[in-house]
């Protein structure tokens, strides 16, 4: 099962990267988010999987797709200038990071030792609620305030006349 969801995630992300049409790229992104949600289920964490599907595949991607269709710019515009150095530099950096990451994961002893731990009991909404409201109450309230501030900011930025 792990391989299936890992492949869904990575192939969805690669398809998004390669895709010229922004709407199709958004749909590939939804596929990636579902793959990540599947990986969360395999990590004994159904709460995070549900949140992932509701917030990312639901809310954020609907927002992105609405903006894409609102702006009516579905294809990438032709480049103004070549900027070859930046393009090859970016590709090289990503490739070096990717190879380095694979090497690091394969060699790491700490990951190997941690990986031997037994499967824990799944995270339930009950445990999460107790944790949030007993230890992270201030952070929870701050996040609520931050969401309100972001909503007001988004409206005031995007509106022509307040």
Partner 1 sequence: MTPVQAILSGGLQGYILVALLLFVIGLATVLLRRTLLMQFMGVELMLNAANLALLAFGRFRGGEVQATAFYLFIIGVAACEAAVGLALVVVLHRLRESTDADRADLLKQ
Report the nearest approach of partner 1 to the CB of residue 115 (Å): 4
CB 22 within 8 A of CB 75: yes
Report the nearest approach of partner 1 to the CB of residue 24 (Å): 11
90 vs 162, beta carbon nearer partner 1: 90
CB 162 within 8 A of CB 156: yes
Q: Which residues contact 73 (CB under 8 A, 6 or more apart)?
A: 22
d(CA 162, CA 158): 10
Report the nearest approach of partner 1 to the CB of residue 66 (Å): 9
């Amino acid at each position: 099962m792990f391989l299936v969801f890992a492949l869904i995630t990575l192939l969805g992300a690669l398809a998004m990267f390669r895709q010229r049409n922004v709407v199709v790229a958004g749909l590939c992104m939804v596929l990636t988010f579902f793959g990540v949600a599947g990986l969360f289920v395999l990590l004994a964490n159904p709460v995070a999987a549900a949140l992932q599907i509701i917030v990312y595949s639901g809310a954020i991607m609907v927002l992105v797709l609405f903006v894409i269709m609102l702006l009516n710019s579905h294809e990438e515009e032709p480049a103004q200038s070549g900027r070859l150095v930046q393009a090859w530099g970016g590709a090289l950096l990503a490739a070096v990071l990717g190879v380095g990451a694979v090497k690091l994961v394969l060699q790491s002893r700490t990951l190997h030792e941690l990986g031997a731990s037994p499967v824990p009991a799944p995270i339930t909404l009950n445990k999460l609620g107790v944790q949030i409201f007993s230890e992270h109450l201030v952070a929870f309230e701050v996040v609520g305030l931050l969401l309100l501030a972001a909503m007001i900011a988004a409206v005031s930025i995007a509106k022509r006349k307040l």
